[in-house]
Amino acid sequence: MRRLPPLNALQIFETVARHRSFTRAADHLCLTQGAVSRQIIALEDYYKFPLFKRHAKGLTLTAEGELLLPAVKESFARIEEISLRLTRQRTDLALKVPTCVMRWMLPKIMRFQAEYPDLHVQITTTWQHDVDFQLEPFDAAIIYGSSPGVDVQAVPLFEERLTPVCAPDLLKDKPLDEVADLVRHTLLHPTRDHRDWKMWLAKVTEADAADTHGIDAEHGPSFDTLDMATNAALQGFGVAISDLALIDEDVAAKRLVRPFDTVLKTGWRYYFVYPDSVAHQQKLNLFRDWITDHWEE
């Protein structure tokens, strides 16, 4: 059996390396300076080489110490993450959700919580549209893409269908009776490459023979998420390109209007996913079945 270095000493080594001082590391760890020093000496005895260079003004890592430090940090971070997963209460469901779908997802989560108050959904919002269950401490996630990926169980939620939207008051002075009228409006972009507006304009040009001359999809402010662009449209700053499922409630409440009927299907979808390794968990199956039954509400 291989003999590992003393793990407590490795933790102290990482703390000393971070603070570059035995004294500050001791204060952080609530230990005496002598106790910290003894642990580092024990670790150096194990490796048979020094890990720190001692100077009057503090400590620096030796070449060997610089090589060891990243491995120690990564290992303890991985242990901490796995421990969090193993010790999380069975009644907690850690869910990762892109910010752009929160306006659609939040009412559903609140209704689920009302029906199942003993299962606590912990929501983490992110600008990301994917998830890595090997590296991230989530039980499940909402993702967006052309496919759900591999090694996951997936429930398709809805396909992306894009169309222009704006605040009703925006049309009082500048009506949008036809696509060509967009030339007088500011286009709001949910991506930095402006691909959504470009694809929609290409569709109406080809399929509907609409006049798009003079409409420059390169111009207009860009936002980091579809939700941010939609919020800008709600405030009357321009015309956004948005997803039908995500703006349905705002359209029904007349906070937003759809000036055109043309809808672009991009072929991408939103999915509810969770790892194959936890597919047997009751909490996941309960939430999956509920969201499958209620996703259109």
The structural domains of the chain, with segments of one domain joined by +, span 7-87, 92-160+269-294, 161-264
Q: Would the pLDDT of 137 be above 90?
A: no
Q: Which residue has the tokens 């969201």?
A: 291
Task: Indicate the pLDDT class of residue 272, thresholds 50, 70 and 90.
Answer: very high
Task: Indicate the pLDDT class of residue 57, thresholds 50, 70 and 90.
Answer: confident
C-beta of residue 157 within 8 angstroms of C-beta of residue 297: no
Q: Among residues 8, 26, 7, which one has the least CA distance to residue 16? A: 26
Superfamily of domain 161-264, CATH level 4: Periplasmic binding protein-like II (3.40.190.10)
Q: Would the pLDDT of 208 be above 80?
A: no
- Cα separation of 94 and 142, whole Å? 11
* pTM value surpassing 0.75: no
pLDDT, position 213: 87
Q: Would the pLDDT of 89 be above 70?
A: no
Identical fold for domains 7-87 and 92-160+269-294, yes or no, is no
**pLDDT tens digit sequence for 158-204:** 899 999 999 999 999 899 999 999 999 999 999 999 999 999 999 98
What residue type is assigned to position 170 of the chain?
L
CA distances in angstroms from 153 to 81, 129, 180, listed in the order given: 22, 16, 44
Task: Indicate the pLDDT class of residue 294, thresholds 50, 70 and 90.
Answer: confident
Task: Indicate the pLDDT class of residue 276, thresholds 50, 70 and 90.
Answer: confident
**What CATH class is the domain 7-87?**
mainly alpha
pLDDT, position 277: 83
The residues facing 124 across adjacent strands are 96
Q: Which residues contact 49 (CB under 8 A, 6 or more apart)?
A: 62, 64
Task: Indicate the pLDDT class of residue 85, thresholds 50, 70 and 90.
Answer: low
CATH 2.60.40.10 fits 92-160+269-294, yes or no: no
What does the block give as tokens for 165?
Answer: 């939207």
